[in-house]
Amino acid sequence: MAVTKKLTRRERIKHNIRKKLSGTEARPRLSVFRSNSEIYAQIIDDVAKKTITTASSLKSTGTKSEKAKAVGAAIAEKAKAANITNVVFDRNGFLYHGRIKALAEAARENGLQF
């Protein structure tokens, strides 16, 4: 019972965030998904409905926070290669805390602006 309540809460928060955010070609959306053991990030152009680049922690080792920092650095490097510097951060209904915050800070340290 508690799992479904938490899932619907996150989905409700996600819906409210996505009403306000949209990625464009000039400023695409950096979307983050966190599972129990892994973390994923995508840079998306919502106007063209196209994923520009992705990064995940599937091949990383270390603690969950270290994996999140590695994914943040990787997505920033891939964004630089695609000539993207400004993005809109979409936390996807998750609280800006812990692994989500670690990923965002690592992306900022490696050159992404949001």
Q: What CATH number is associated with residue 64?
A: 3.30.420.100
pLDDT tens readout for residues 22-81: 988 899 999 999 999 999 999 999 999 999 999 999 999 999 999 999 999 999 999 999
**Residue 81: domain span:** 2-109
**Are the C-beta atoms of residues 103 and 97 closer than 8 Å to each other?**
no
Q: For tokens 């000039």, what's the residue?
A: 26
Please indicate, yes or no, if residue 64 is contained in any of the structural domains: yes
Unique residue bearing structure tokens 């510097």: 85
Edge-to-edge, what's the strand order for the sheet holding 29-34?
50-56, 39-45, 29-34, 88-90
pTM to 2 decimal places: 0.90
- Domain-located, residue 103: yes
pLDDT of the residue at 3 = 66
The verdict on residue 30 lying in a domain is yes
114 located within any domain:
no
Tokens 């809460």 sit on residue: 9
Domain count, the chain: 1
